[in-house]
């Protein structure tokens, strides 16, 4: 029998963290060996049968848990303020990383990639774990060759901390690679309310919506003469991300260096 991949989850009390704990525990090729969340120090476990049923160590200190359980892979679903230090800690302890937290800057990604090579470990930074979202990004990238006028609207729940989403940024980057240099549009455009036309990633405008009731949604709208094309993806339940999370854990476990985007592991 092949050795199971030993996994810990950081941000384990969050919605994505909890789903990840369940998904890893249920997979026969993975072994859930611990969970980390800064809120564990004050968490009332007596009212949390879901966590207690996992029968694993819980900690508010990542480095201490790594030393205790010796994981192969860390999955991070924390927040933009914590993810960089979490990944540094894991890589320095020779733990491969799967990062679902968005907000890492380019300079931080460069540092983490260097650290991964130094420690002969891998790091997968995944803006979106939904297979459908990855396909949306690839389809949008292809469409951009024929429809150079495009904008993105992304819609998320009102507890999401960063805007725009990592998925929207990644989509815009992929589209920009296909656009080349186009002349600027509508030079006379005037925003009566600053910011109402969205933010720019290269030649692509992104508009962010944050409202209760949403999970994660994005539409890429292309405009042409006499026609438009809309490519949209909707995530209605976080469980839909879990097949992607599990796949990435298994694919990155024996790789070295940085992988950015799940399409590079499919």
Q: What is the DSSP string of 171-240?
A: HHHHHHHHH---PPS-TT---SSTTTT-EEETTEEEEEEE-TT--EEEEEEEEETTEEEEEEEEE--GGG
- Total domains present in the chain: 2
Q: Which of 22, 138, 160, 251 is catalytic?
A: 160
Q: What is the CATH number of the domain that holds 154?
A: 3.30.360.10
Are 67 and 11 in a shared domain?
A: yes
* Plot region of 210 (φ>0 → left; ψ -120 to 50 → alpha; else → beta): beta
Are 215 and 248 in the same domain? no
Domain of residue 98, CATH code:
3.40.50.720
Residue 93 belongs to what domain range? 5-125+239-264
Give φ, ψ of 65 to 5 degrees. -65, -40
pLDDT score for 187: 65
160 catalytic? Reply is yes
In a shared domain, residues 76 and 94: yes
pLDDT at position 190 is 85
Question: Residue 163: phi, psi to the nearest 5?
Answer: -150, 140
Note the pLDDT of residue 53.
85
Same structural domain for residues 36 and 77?
Answer: yes
- Same structural domain for residues 97 and 145? no
Q: Which residues of the chain have pLDDT under 70?
A: 1, 181-187
pLDDT for the residue 161: 85
The Cα angle at residue 173 between residues 172 and 174, in degrees rounded to 5 = 90
How far apart (Å, rounded) are the C-alpha atoms in residues 186 and 168?
23
Burial 165-194 (b: 16+ CB within 10 A, else e): bbbbbbbbbbbbeebeeeeeeeeeeeeeee
Q: What is the pLDDT of residue 149?
A: 94
Are 180 and 207 in a shared domain? yes
Would you state the pLDDT for residue 185? 66
Residue found by looking up tokens 């611990």 in the block = 34
Q: Indicate if 51 and 98 belong to the same structural domain.
A: yes
Active site residue 70: no
Of 110, 62, 106, 107, the C-alpha closest to 85 is 62
């Amino acid at each position: 029998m092949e050795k199971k991949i030993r996994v810990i989850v950081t941000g384990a009390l969050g919605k994505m963290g909890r789903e990840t704990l369940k998904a890893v525990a249920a997979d026969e090729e993975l072994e859930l060996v611990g969970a980390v969340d800064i809120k564990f120090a004050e968490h009332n476990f007596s009212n949390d049968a879901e966590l207690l049923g996992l029968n694993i160590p819980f900690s508010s200190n990542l480095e201490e848990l790594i030393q205790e359980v010796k994981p192969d892979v860390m999955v991070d679903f924390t927040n933009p303020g914590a993810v960089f230090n979490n990944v540094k800690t894991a890589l320095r302890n020779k733990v491969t990383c799967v990062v679902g937290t968005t907000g890492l800057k380019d300079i931080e990604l460069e540092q983490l990639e260097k650290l991964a090579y130094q420690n002969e470990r891998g790091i997968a930074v995944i803006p979106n774990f939904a297979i459908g979202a990855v396909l949306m990004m690839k389809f949008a990238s292809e469409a951009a060759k024929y429809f150079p006028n495009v904008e993105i609207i992304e819609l998320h729940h009102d507890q999401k901390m960063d805007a725009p989403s990592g998925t929207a940024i990644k989509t815009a980057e992929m589209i920009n690679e296909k656009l080349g240099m186009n002349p600027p549009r509508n030079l006379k455009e005037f925003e009566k309310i600053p910011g109402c036309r969205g933010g720019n990633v290269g030649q692509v405008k992104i508009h962010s919506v944050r409202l209760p009731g949403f999970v994660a949604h994005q539409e890429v709208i292309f405009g042409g003469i006499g026609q438009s094309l809309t490519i949209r993806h909707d995530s209605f339940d976080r469980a839909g991300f879990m097949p992607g999370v599990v796949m990435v854990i298994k694919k990155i476990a024996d790789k070295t260096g940085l992988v950015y985007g799940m399409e590079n592991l499919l």
